[in-house]
Amino acid sequence: MKKTILLVVLLTLVAFVSGAIATAPPKATTPAPAAPATTAPVKLEKFTGDIKSVDAVAKSIVVVKGKDSKTFIVDDKTKITKGKDALKFEDLKAGMNVVVEYKKEMDKMIAVTIKGSAPKAPPKGK
């Protein structure tokens, strides 16, 4: 009789332990992703010159200054102004003098702001 009671107690104990193990949350086998590192503020660079061409399909502009020529991508976040007026991409024309603040992403230069001004008048001769 004592053996029977001991056997029942052991079986009950095994049942409870296996039930507790089955309901325990599984341990994570892969480490949790680390919190994204705080990115350093993007360093903006400036380029001043005249618009040589505007590509509406690629949404880009080519700006030249002397022998230097740079192509900038214009996206939906690009702020385009002329004086205090906001402009649209379609308002950019060849010959317009601009100051472009841009950031480099991979091998592309993304325009953050484009500030336009009227073309400079040629100097008056005496």
Per-residue pLDDT tens digits for 83-93: 888 999 999 99
Q: What pLDDT band is residue 73 in, cutting at 50, 70 and 90? A: very high
- Topology given in CATH for the domain delimited by 45-117: OB fold (Dihydrolipoamide Acetyltransferase, E2P) (2.40.50)
Q: What is the pLDDT of residue 110?
A: 94
Q: Which residues pair with 62 in a beta bridge?
A: 53, 71
pTM score > 0.85 for this model? Answer: no
- Parse the chain into domains and list their residue ranges: 45-117
Do strands 108-117 and 68-82 pair parallel, antiparallel, or not at all (unpaired)? parallel
Is the pLDDT confidence value at 126 over 60?
A: no
Residue 24 per-residue DSSP state: S
What is the mean pLDDT of the segment spanning 7-11?
79
